Structure 1
Amino acid sequence: MPLTSTLKTLDTFLREIWLECCGHMSAFFLRSGGEVGKNTKLGTLPAGLTLHYDYDFGNTTELQITLLGTVSRPKQRKAVRLLCRNLPLVFKCGGCGEEADYICCECEAMEEDPFFCQACMESHGHEYALPVVNSPRMGVCAYCGENDIYDFSDNTEKEK
């Protein structure tokens, strides 16, 4: 992100890629607990600073953000440039062991195995399920990952 960008820009990016479900409030905090305003420019924050970010103050998703430093590079079109991404976790269906497509929110609340494939979910007794997605917000509120435009493509397969 350009040093002239604000934490509001970062907030918007985090919501788009990982968090946004229905417009919850969010905030950035210092380790000491003091809130850092969203109008704060990145260039005013010291390298090595760790910020804590909370999204949704009811079912809070907490993230930790560390400012590593600055680099000089050409101007970019987008407000945030994604440099890397975690590999999506693979969850197994509690019914048959196949790759899970859904997380049953009722089972998760009862601390039972919440993951189901399409077929097992159809015969499962609960109705409130959300898709398995690449987000710390998976299974919370109404998060479905529909705004995540950063698809993962695995280019590690060996060419034959």
Structure 2
Amino acid sequence: MAQTKQTRGACAFCGRQMTGNGMVKHLSACPKRKDTLGESNPKSGKEEKIYHLKIQDAWLNDFWLHLEIRSSATLKDLDSYLRSIWLECCGHLSQFSTKGHLGEEIAMDSEVSALFHPGLELTHIYDFGDSSETLIKVVGEREGTPLNEHPIYLMARNELPEVETCACGKPGAWLCMDCTESEDEVALLCEKHAKDEQHQDHNLMPIINSPRTGRCGYAGPADPPY
């Protein structure tokens, strides 16, 4: 899908709409987040180092996430989260590496505590046939109690980017893979035209808030796992 203006998303704490880059500064100063951190439930776990991650698709920066991850978590926890919210379609292999997709692979059982520090950048690749490449940067850290009992907490994500229109002028909701001739000429259909008889036997894929849309067998749901 063609990129448009920068996507925005809502802060999970106060609801303020920001771009992915603007959200870094906002989350560090958000009064509602500070209040929430001060009221963290002790049942969520003991105090530990917790890292703020900014994650975005390597090629479509319309898609981004801001996560907190516990230092006691592993890269496998992060891999599972990315699969659930963005990537999983057919159980493909994945890996983390340093210095881009040609860098040194990092074991999935690596603990965050032994690896993460502010400024660290990692690459995550899912599916080595029709690859999705994700960039991960540690943009902050804090010492305290996690916000829930899970290893990862979602602080913000992009809203679905503006989608091009169908030939009829209505918003696109489906990709017709059988009508697509190239990556630059994507066939978008509105809900009505996706149900037309001429497309009944075609390979239709829903447009979902994920950089994986249109790849392999991906059909979502692109929901946070918790």
- TM class by shorter chain equals 0.7 to 0.9
Structure 2 contact 208–221 (Cα < 8 Å) conserved: no
Q: Which residue number corresponds to residue 157 of structure 1?
A: none
Code of the aligned partner of 2:72? T
Paired with 2:83 and 2:181, the residues of 1 have a C-alpha distance of 24
Q: Which residue number corresponds to residue 97 of structure 2?
A: 29
Which structure has greater strand proportion? 2
Code of the aligned partner of 1:103? L
Aligned length: 150
TM-score (normalizing by structure 2): 0.61
48-57 vs 113-122, which deviates more? 113-122
Higher relative contact order (CA 8 A, sep 6+): 2
Question: Which stretches of structure 1, 4 residues or more, deviate above 4 A after TM superposition?
Answer: none
Q: How does 1:9-158 map to 2 (within 5 A)?
A: 9-31=77-99, 33-45=103-115, 46-75=117-146, 76-110=148-182, 111-123=184-196, 124-125=198-199, 127-146=202-221, 148-149=223-224
Structure 1 contact 103–116 (Cα < 8 Å) conserved: yes
Structure 2 contact 85–224 (Cα < 8 Å) conserved: yes
* Fraction of identical pairs, as percent: 33
**What is the alpha-carbon root mean square deviation over aligned residues?**
1.9
Q: Which residue number corresponds to residue 59 of structure 2?
A: none
Q: What 5-or-longer segments of structure 2 have no aligned partner?
A: 1-68
Structure 1 contact 92–99 (Cα < 8 Å) conserved: yes
Q: What 5-or-longer segments of structure 1 have no aligned partner?
A: 151-160
Query: Structure 1 residue 147: deviation in Å?
Result: 5.3
Q: Which residue number corresponds to residue 156 of structure 1?
A: none
Query: Structure 1 residue 145: deviation in Å?
Result: 1.1
TM-score (normalizing by structure 1): 0.85
SS state at 1:11 partner: helix
